[in-house]
Structure 1
Amino acid sequence: MAAIPRSLPLLALRLALAVPFYKSGLTKWDGFLQLSGGAEFLFGAEFKLHIFGSQYPYPFPMAAAYGAGIAEIVLPILLVAGLFTRFAAFGLLVMTAVIQITVPEGWANFHLPWAAMALTLVVFGGGKIALDAFRERRR
């Protein structure tokens, strides 16, 4: 196993974490900064925060929808490029936590693996196959 460079699994983690968030982000937009009707409905009426056995509506649901939509496009792009990898992974880790309290039944199949991938990238960074490594070499 020593023949596998450490950067290769980090690249795989970056891609694996980026794909579901990016695909989800694409569903939130009907055009440039134009939220889809589905995103407006979900954040405005459907999504609830499940905290301590109670359900609460999202505070500022349209701001949350815009924020999630932008983050789900920008952060995965940064991850794939390996640019500001730790920041992007931390952002997706925070988003995963919010998704967990929104859809608590998804923890085993989705949220736990996403959190594990994001936490690994926060700790280890993007590896040598990343723009972060290129930036570090130029310093």
Structure 2
Amino acid sequence: MKVLMALYRRSLAFDELLALWGGAALGLFLRLYVGWQFFKAGMVKLGDWSATLALFREEYHVPLLAPELAAYLGAAGELVLPLLLFAGLLSRPAALGLLLVNCMAVLSYPQLFSFECPAAINDHFYWGVMLLALLVYGPGRISLDAWLGRRAC
């Protein structure tokens, strides 16, 4: 019984450690990982802007927007919003913005559903879940949002 109580006390200490820093580490990891995925896509768009415009004119069918405007907005979102996530500044609005970019990418390129390898659509699904987690739970303690929140109180 003594051994069981000792193990239980150690598990409580571990629970406290996870409660204090586990969410912070997870928030940081999610922000960096999902932000990097979108930032890379934005850099690819900038790398060959004429190809990007051609894709938006011919392949991607963004509803209600002219292809050129959709290309500019998509690239801007993929470059600016990840920077906010990296810093943990305005994290929830940035996560919401990237979630909208992600949804629009899936809606405007329905071929994702018809590929033999489901990895492409699965990536968008996983990114969406990560962004939802950031939107609901916030960026964690290791963020400018948390730092500014502590300073404001």
**TM-score range normalised by the length of the shorter chain:** 0.7 to 0.9
Query: Which amino acid in the other structure matches residue 135 of structure 2?
Result: V
The one of 85, 100, 112 aligned to 1:79:
85
Q: What residue number does 1:8 align with?
A: 25
The one of 42, 45, 59 aligned to 1:46:
59
CA distance in 2 between counterparts of 1:111 and 1:72 reads 14
Q: Tell me, yes or no, if the aligned pair for 1:44 and 1:58 is still in contact at 8 Å.
A: no
**Identity, % of aligned positions:** 37
The one of 59, 68, 75 aligned to 1:69:
75
The one of 101, 104, 108 aligned to 1:102:
108
State the 1:102 CA deviation.
2.4
State the 1:82 CA deviation.
0.2
Give structure 2 stretches of 5+ with no counterpart: 1-13, 114-119
> Are residues 1:127 and 2:140 paired?
yes
CA distance in 1 between counterparts of 2:85 and 2:109 reads 24
State the 1:113 CA deviation.
0.3
Q: CA RMSD in A?
A: 1.7
How many equivalent pairs are there?
127
Structure 1's consecutive aligned runs of 4 or more residues displaced over 6 angstroms after TM superposition are: none
CA distance in 2 between counterparts of 1:46 and 1:36 reads 15
Q: Tell me, yes or no, if the aligned pair for 1:11 and 1:127 is still in contact at 8 Å.
A: yes
Q: Tell me, yes or no, if the aligned pair for 1:48 and 1:58 is still in contact at 8 Å.
A: no
More strand by share: 1
Q: TM-score, normalised by structure 1?
A: 0.84
Matched residue SS, 2:125 = helix
Q: TM-score, normalised by structure 2?
A: 0.77
Matched residue SS, 1:129 = coil
Q: What residue number does 1:115 align with?
A: 128
State the 1:48 CA deviation.
2.7
Query: Which amino acid in the other structure matches residue 70 of structure 2?
Result: A
More helix by share: 2
State the 1:62 CA deviation.
0.4
Query: Which amino acid in the other structure matches residue 147 of structure 2?
Result: F
Name which one, 1 or 2, has greater alpha-carbon Rg: 2
Query: Which amino acid in the other structure matches residue 27 of structure 1?
Result: V
